[in-house]
A and B are shown apart, each in its own frame.
Chain A
Amino acid sequence: MILEHAQVLVVALPLLAVPVCALLPSRRWPGQFATLVAWAVLGFAVLLMAGVAEQGVLRYQLGGWAPPWGIEYRLDAMAALVQLLLALIAAVVFPYAARSLADEVDDGRVGGIFAALLLLLTGLLGIVATGDAFNVFVFLEISSLSGYALIAMGRRRRALVASFRYLIMGTVGATFFLIGLGLLYALTGTLNMDDLATRMPPLSASPTAQTALVFIVAGIGLKAAVFPLHQWLPDAYAEAPPAVAAFMAATATKVALYVLARFLFGVFGLEQLLEVPALQSALQGLAVAGMLAGSLLAMRAMDIGRILALSSVAQVGYILLGFALFSTAGLAAGLVHLFNHALMKAALFLALGAIVHRVGSGDLSRLEGVAHAMPWTMAAFMMGALSLIGVPLTAGFVGKWYLILAVVEQGQWWLVMAMLVASILSVVYLWRIVEVLYRRPAVLPARHEAPALLLLPTLLLAVANLVMGMHATPLVEWSMRASASLLGAGS
């Protein structure tokens, strides 16, 4: 009974918890309640993953109306993977936020902030769960609006400006998506993604279909921070409260990339993609430009949050590159890196949050020698950094390795070169941080480790980077399966 409805419950549960959370008194309860909700969501996500493993695509008709007339929930291997990722990150970050966010804002707003965090989770889960293209837009806006509000909660006044600029650019992106969708509807008369996929092939040469594709890619690319549409991201993630930055960096751009893959391969399909002149080279070019530009900008930044955010621009480039190979191996490598990048970036932002919690700043000039006072936090940071560079036996290595294999498969050696250069640059910008944090004399005189509630989730994610690096097979196999079924459905 519960299993049958798990597909909807996984989205409905955090939503139903929102009003409760908003009204909870006390400084601690909202965070603890949100944590319980996140763990329950994780339980459902695991159940659903097992369901997809067994039965393939799961479908659920909302309100009992059959698609394409009604809205359908649809969970395939790729969606189940991203859903699990969202639930995992929420389950680890929410208890951390329960401590760190509650310490940062004044009493009256704690409930509201956790309600917004749950809304963000609801929106992202809803995007992944649905099979209806317009429903994607509605849930995208739920996640976006709660995201803008949460970013504005940052300590510095700059957070307000970052949030406003993100709001403007994000809404333009969502409206571009809406334009693309409108053109598709005018051509096909449907909004259901599977139904669209069956109706698109005869229209692949139509300028309208190609324009729709460009608008959808640009609109979602903006939300995913694909270069050069990334300008909102560095400020937004650097100014947001660290727990929010950790959650959003690990989930929001990932879900946008998921939508991109869903539309590219699951709605338009390979034939259509190859029909648009220069689309593939343009996407590959943007991916490489993002990898290099993000890394170069990160080398010059002074604030750790900003460095991590800019490195996200580079990492989005890697994932996009996997997609832009238009091959099963490439898409699978992109998905592997999508999952693993979430783990490393969440670990890094949580470690940063622990440092900011103790020192009150994430600015490199004020963090000399912090590592000596916070050895455990620093160990977690190092783990995340090694994974970000792509050192063997870490999660970050796996995605890059399979990406290189997929690139070599197509004989595009210049892309391998670009990836290596970007990786070397990441060593440089991460080394700058490590060097400062270990420098003597230290700003903090003695041992001053982060509170356990901040440290445990951080260490957990750091260990996850190691585990996913050493036991990569399940994720790789699942991604291959997701990729094969998506590309198979498209052609």
Chain B
Amino acid sequence: MTGLEHYNYWIVIALMMSGLYALIARGNLIRKLIGLNIFQASVFLLYISVGFVRDGAAPILAPGVDSYSNPLPHVLILTAIVVGVATTALGLALAVRIHGAYGTIDDDQLDRQRD
């Protein structure tokens, strides 16, 4: 093989880390949630890459096909995507309430208001 065997993994790791960076470094709460979403989506890519079989078909049984990609990671990630969006929704609702209570959704400014 070429040097591509681990290419998927490494790009996925770079993606994860860019999401993680955004969620730590940026002060805006919605930005943090965007970073979190990128982080999670990259983990989904990790799972799907693990499940991929070259020259295999999508795991929908069809006559004459004998090589499929692994369906199990797909199942897990379907669940994880839904869990992710549920978390995002709750986080956004919190951000809206925080804006109502403090008049800002910037983390640094929240710290400046003592109570």
**Interface of A with B (CB < 8 Å)?**
134, 137-138, 141, 145, 148-149, 152, 156-158, 160-161, 163-164, 167-168, 171-172, 175, 178-179, 182, 185-186, 191
Contacts and interface: CB of A to CB of B under 8 A. Distances in A.
A164 B101 CA distance: 13
B40 interface: yes
B90 interface: yes
A148 B79 contact: no
Chain B contact residues: over half helix, strand or loop, or mixed?
Answer: helix
A171 B94 contact: no
B47 interface: yes
Contact of A185 (B50, B90, B94, B102): B50
Contacts of B115: 156-158
Contacts of B46: 179, 182
Given A152-B94, A158-B115, A164-B95, A178 B29 contact: no
Contact of A175 (B29, B40, B73): B40
A138 B101 contact: no
B20 A172 contact: yes
A160 B83 contact: no
B80 interface: yes
Interface in B60-92: 72-73, 76, 79-80, 83, 86-87, 90-91
10 contacts: A137-B80, A138-B79, A145-B90, A157-B115, A158-B115, A161-B98, A171-B36, A178-B43, A179-B46, A191-B72
B23 A168 contact: yes
Contact of A167 (B39, B87, B110): B87
Interface in B96-115: 97-98, 101-102, 110, 115
Contacts of A137: 80, 83
A45 to B, nearest CB: 27
Looking at chain B, what size class is its interface with the partner chain? 20 to 34
Interface of B: 16, 20, 23, 29, 32-33, 36, 39-40, 43, 46-47, 50, 72-73, 76, 79-80, 83, 86-87, 90-91, 94-95, 97-98, 101-102, 110, 115
A178 B87 CA distance: 15
A178 to B, nearest CB: 6
A164 B87 contact: no
Nearest to B33: A168
A182 B47 contact: yes
B88 to A, nearest CB: 9
B73 A185 contact: yes
A134 B33 CA distance: 23
B97 A160 contact: yes
A261 to B, nearest CB: 24
Contacts of A163: 94
B72 to A, nearest CB: 8
Nearest to A163: B94
Contact of A138 (B83, B94, B98): B83
A175 B39 contact: yes
A188 B73 CA distance: 13
A478 to B, nearest CB: 34
Contacts of A134: 76, 79
A171 B101 CA distance: 24
A148 B94 contact: yes
9 interchain residue pairs of minimum CB distance = A157-B101, A186-B50, A164-B94, A160-B98, A141-B83, A182-B47, A160-B97, A167-B91, A182-B46
Nearest to A170: B87
B58 to A, nearest CB: 19
Contacts of A152: 94, 97
Nearest to B105: A164
A179 B43 contact: yes
Contacts of B29: 164
Contacts of A148: 90, 94
Contacts of A182: 43, 46-47, 50, 73
Contacts of B36: 168, 171-172
Contacts of A145: 86-87, 90
